Structure 1
Amino acid sequence: MKKLILITLFSTLFIFSGCDTLNQYAGAINQTVGTPSSTEMSLGLKQALEFGTNYSAERLSAKDGYLGNLAVKILMPPEAQKVENTLRSIGLNSLCDNVITSLNRAAENAAIEAKPIFVNAIKQMSFQDVSNILLGQQDAATLYFKRTTSIALADKFRPIINNSLNKVGATRYWGDLTSRYNKIPLVKPINTDLAGYVTDKAIDGMFIEIAQEELKIRQNLAARSTSLLQKVFGYADRQK
Structure 2
Amino acid sequence: MKKIIVCALVAFVSYTATAQGIFNKINKAIKKDSTTTSGGGLLGAIKNGGSSGTSGAGLSNADIVSGLKDALRVATDSTTKSLSAVGGYLKNEAIKIVMPAEAVKVEKTLRGIGAGALVDKAILSMNTAAENAAGDVGGIFLTAIKQMTVTDGINILRGGDHAATDFLKRTTTATLTEKMRPVIESSLKKVNADKYWNDAFSKYNLFAQQKVNTDLTAYVTGKALEGMFYKISLEETKIRKDPAAQVTDILKKVFGGK
Q: TM-score range by the shorter chain?
A: 0.7 to 0.9
**Larger of the two Rg values belongs to structure:** 1
String of CA shifts for 1:178-220, please: whole Å, max 9, x gaps. 467568xx54564521110100000011101111111122111
Query: 1-side partners of 2:213 and 2:65: how far apart?
Result: 46
8 A Cα contact 1:165 1:171, kept in partner: yes
1:203 aligned to 2:218? no
8 A Cα contact 1:139 1:215, kept in partner: yes
Give secondary structure in 2 for the equivalent of 1:91: coil
Change (3 A) 1:123 1:225: same
String of CA shifts for 1:61-117, please: whole Å, max 9, x gaps. 000000011111101112222221221121100000000011000000000122011
Q: CA deviation at 1:168?
A: 3.0
Change (3 A) 1:82 1:177: farther
The structure whose residues are more often helix, as a share, is 1
**Aligned pairs, how many?**
204
Give secondary structure in 2 for the equivalent of 1:221: coil
Within 5 A, what are the aligned runs for 1:55-204? 55-175=78-198, 177-178=200-201, 186-188=207-209, 190-204=212-226
Moved more, 210-219 or 146-155: 210-219
Moved more, 67-76 or 31-40: 31-40
Give secondary structure in 2 for the equivalent of 1:222: coil
Between the two proteins, what is the percent identity of the paired residues? 50
Q: CA deviation at 1:132?
A: 1.0
Letter in 1 for 2:133: A
Q: 2:240 aligns with which of 209, 218, 223?
A: 218
* TM-score relative to the length of structure 1: 0.77
Change (3 A) 1:232 1:132: farther
Q: CA deviation at 1:35?
A: 5.3
Unaligned runs of 5+ in 1: 1-29, 236-240
8 A Cα contact 1:38 1:127, kept in partner: yes
Moved more, 223-232 or 164-173: 223-232
8 A Cα contact 1:224 1:230, kept in partner: yes
8 A Cα contact 1:107 1:202, kept in partner: yes
8 A Cα contact 2:59 2:254, kept in partner: yes
Change (3 A) 1:176 1:85: farther
RMSD: 2.4
Unaligned runs of 5+ in 2: 1-52
8 A Cα contact 2:56 2:64, kept in partner: no
Q: 1:45 aligns with which of 60, 64, 68?
A: 68
Q: CA deviation at 1:41?
A: 0.8
Query: 2-side partners of 1:214 and 1:182: how far apart?
Result: 39
Moved more, 196-205 or 79-88: 79-88
8 A Cα contact 1:61 1:110, kept in partner: yes
1:229 aligned to 2:251? yes
Change (3 A) 1:191 1:31: closer
